[in-house]
């Protein structure tokens, strides 16, 4: 079996069996492509079936010199998953990474905003801001409210469709990683801000490919992820808030505030669209005083 054939088979498996998006597949196979380049550029006679631990170890050593521990761990994990797939398909009997340990890494907890911080950022929005005759201030408020109210990823936000809005039922349909869909509750106030934007949107000449897309730019095209980052960056600068804020900060703040106010971790997991509850727990960096309050409130023998 040749490297490119093994890579294509693995990509097909990730797409069909795992249901991953194109971006996720690219992330999963990025380091495998680097391994292929390393083998070929060094004229190493090693197919994906025959490559051994020493060759893989030499590649990891050569590649990871400039990488931090987290990136090294991602490199090793990505390669290990690839060779596990080859074992699963009976191409190999052993994984050349079995004896290679990942570096110990500290869990990096995302930044969070207080409710006051979020209020400040939203109040900073110039609701009268227009460009090419289109009121983008109202759009920006609807974006910020939706990010925080529903805990969306930025990719989920920019791909949100009008047909995904079920305001009568109080939910929106969100398409997450691997095209997996979930229903997320949406507050009446956020519904109101989205409705205001939709009235403005009706006066935009929408491009055919974006007819059902909720958030548009002034040209009638779907917003890019980069544009959402830019909107938030400008608001942070204008507000004078001395914090590192990205779209994901709103998602993390959404989850953290829910937990701090007594929400069930399982319910938060479902709203965030996490496959594993362990992933949700990473977001929940609550202080010890809150955990003590939970214990004192709910434990029968406090």
> Cα–Cα distance between 156 and 142 in angstroms, integer?
14
Instruction: Tokens for 149, please give them.
Output: 């109210």
pLDDT value of position 174: 93
Residue carrying structure tokens 């980052």? 229
pLDDT < 70: residue spans in the chain: 105-110, 277-302
pLDDT value of position 287: 45
Sign of CA dihedral 251, 254, 260, 266: negative
Positions marked catalytic: 153, 177, 248, 251, 274, 283
pLDDT tens string 213-228: 999 999 999 999 999 9
pLDDT value of position 11: 93
pLDDT value of position 186: 94
Instruction: Tokens for 147, please give them.
Output: 């990010």
Q: Where along the chain do its domains lie?
A: 3-88, 115-294
b/e code 212-248 from CB counts within 10 Å (16+ = b): ebbbbbeebebbeeeebeebbeebbeebebeeebbbb
pLDDT value of position 244: 87
Domain 115-294 has CATH 1.20.1250.20: no
pLDDT tens string 173-194: 999 887 889 999 999 999 999 9
pLDDT value of position 267: 85
pLDDT value of position 103: 78
pLDDT value of position 274: 81
Radius of gyration from C-alpha coordinates of the chain: 23
pLDDT value of position 18: 83
| Beta strand extents in 101-159 (DSSP E only) | 130-131, 134-135
Per the confidence metrics, is the pTM higher than 0.85? no
- The full length of the chain comes to 302
The single-letter DSSP state of residue 162 is G
User: Looking at domain 3-88, which of 1.50.10, 2.60.40, 1.10.10, 1.10.150 is its CATH number?
Assistant: 1.10.150
> Cα–Cα distance between 198 and 210 in angstroms, integer?
14
Residue carrying structure tokens 């209020």? 119
């Amino acid at each position: 079996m040749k490297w490119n054939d093994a890579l294509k088979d693995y990509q097909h498996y990730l797409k069909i069996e795992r249901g991953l998006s194109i971006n996720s597949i690219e992330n999963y196979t990025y380091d495998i492509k680097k391994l292929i380049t390393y083998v070929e550029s060094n004229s190493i006679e090693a197919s994906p079936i025959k490559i051994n631990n020493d060759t893989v170890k030499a590649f990891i050593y050569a590649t990871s010199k400039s990488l931090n521990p987290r990136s090294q761990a991602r490199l090793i994990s990505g390669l290990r998953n690839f060779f596990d797939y080859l074992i699963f398909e009976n191409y190999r009997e052993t994984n050349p990474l079995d004896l290679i340990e990942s570096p110990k890494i500290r869990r990096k907890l995302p930044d969070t905003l207080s409710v006051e911080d979020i209020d400040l950022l939203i109040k900073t929005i110039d609701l009268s801001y227009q460009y090419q005759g289109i009121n983008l201030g109202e759009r920006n408020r609807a974006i910020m409210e939706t990010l925080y109210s529903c805990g969306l990823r930025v990719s989920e936000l920019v791909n949100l469709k009008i047909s995904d809005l079920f305001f009568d039922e109080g939910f929106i349909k969100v398409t997450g990683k691997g095209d997996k869909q979930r229903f997320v509750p949406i507050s009446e106030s956020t519904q109101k801000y989205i409705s205001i934007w939709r009235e403005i949107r009706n006066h935009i000449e929408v491009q055919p490919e974006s007819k059902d897309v909720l958030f548009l730019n002034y040209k009638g095209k779907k917003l890019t992820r980069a544009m959402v980052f830019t909107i938030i960056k400008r608001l942070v600068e204008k507000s004078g808030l001395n914090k590192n804020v990205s779209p994901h900060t709103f998602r993390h703040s959404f989850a953290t505030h829910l937990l701090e106010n007594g929400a069930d971790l399982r319910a938060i997991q479902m709203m965030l669209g996490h496959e594993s509850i362990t992933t949700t727990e990473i977001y929940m960096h609550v202080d010890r005083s809150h955990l003590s309050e939970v214990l004192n409130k709910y434990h029968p023998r406090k």
